[in-house]
Amino acid sequence: MEKTVVIDLEKCVGCGKCARDCVSSAIYVEDGKARIREGCIGCGHCFAICPAGAVDMPGYDTASCGEVVPMTAIDSDTLLQAMKSRRTVRHFKDIPVEQEKIDKILEAGRYAPTGANSQNVACTILGSKQASIERDCVRLFKTGVGIGSKLVSFLRNVDINDTFFFKGAPLVIVVSGHDAVNATLASAYMEIEANSLGLGVLYSGFFCSAAGILPKVRSALKLPKGHKPVTCMIIGYPDVEYLRIPPRKERKARIL
């Protein structure tokens, strides 16, 4: 079986930094060289911390790895103000999202943290199936069959038109996984990247509800085995401009 981590003993200087930072204590130093035993979860900490470049990870994409840019390189006040300024967008221009930007959004999700480095999050772009999937979901919500009573009550006041779910946006990405936390973190990373590219994002909880009810929709998504849709990200160029940050209620935080 191919090893997750391989250490080049000729390059290794025996500094022990990799062993000290190993999450699963799978690396140790012996005779002045780093060694690896069973238990590695492939987190990549050793790859990132090695000053001699002695660590390789066969089977992983190391070509896209570059120099570290610390979060401190971003002005904290500017970052906080930008995060407070983000808004959910429900009006989109009829402009396609460039493939280069889609790739960057997906890359952001790929680098989101996952528990035990499981990397068990997948992204499904609806693409050519977007229109047909939306029609099925709209039909369900118009009839109200199988939908919880609270949702039915809310929908009485809403115009469920042909673009109710995806708002005419050009890009819909369903983020799925075994674990809701991992998929949610990936979605947050993707949203921040999308916003930085001038794109707006809407999380469609309605779609996830519909997907949970309609076998036809779940089948069309062709999610990996054991995955469930956690978020549905509607993405496109905003056709709305917000001028100020809306207020929030008092912050809820306690020291125990």
Tell me the pLDDT tens digit for each residue of 195-233. 999 999 999 999 998 998 899 999 999 999 999 999 999
Asked whether 95 and 237 are in contact (CB, 8 A), the reply is yes
33: in domain: yes
Expressed as residue numbers, the domain containing 110 is 74-236
249: in domain: no
Number of domain units in the chain: 2
Q: Domain of 43: which CATH number?
A: 3.30.70.20
State residue 255's pLDDT score: 97
pLDDT of 237 over the 50 cut:
yes
State residue 1's pLDDT score: 45
85 and 201 co-located in one domain: yes
**Percent of the chain topping pLDDT 90:** 86
- CB-based burial label for 179 (10 Å; 0-12, 13-18, 19+): middle
Tokens of 112: 């989101």
pLDDT confidence tier of residue 2, bands split at 50, 70 and 90? low
State residue 142's pLDDT score: 81
38: in domain: yes
255: in domain: no
226 and 102 co-located in one domain: yes
pTM exceeds 0.85 for this model: yes
Q: Name the helix (H) or strand (E) containing 183.
A: helix 180-196
State residue 152's pLDDT score: 59
Average pLDDT over residues 87-98: 98
User: Taken in order 144, 147, 152, 155, is the CA torsion positive or negative?
Assistant: negative
Higher-confidence position of 142 and 9: 9
107: in domain: yes
24 and 80 co-located in one domain: no
pLDDT of 146 over the 60 cut:
no
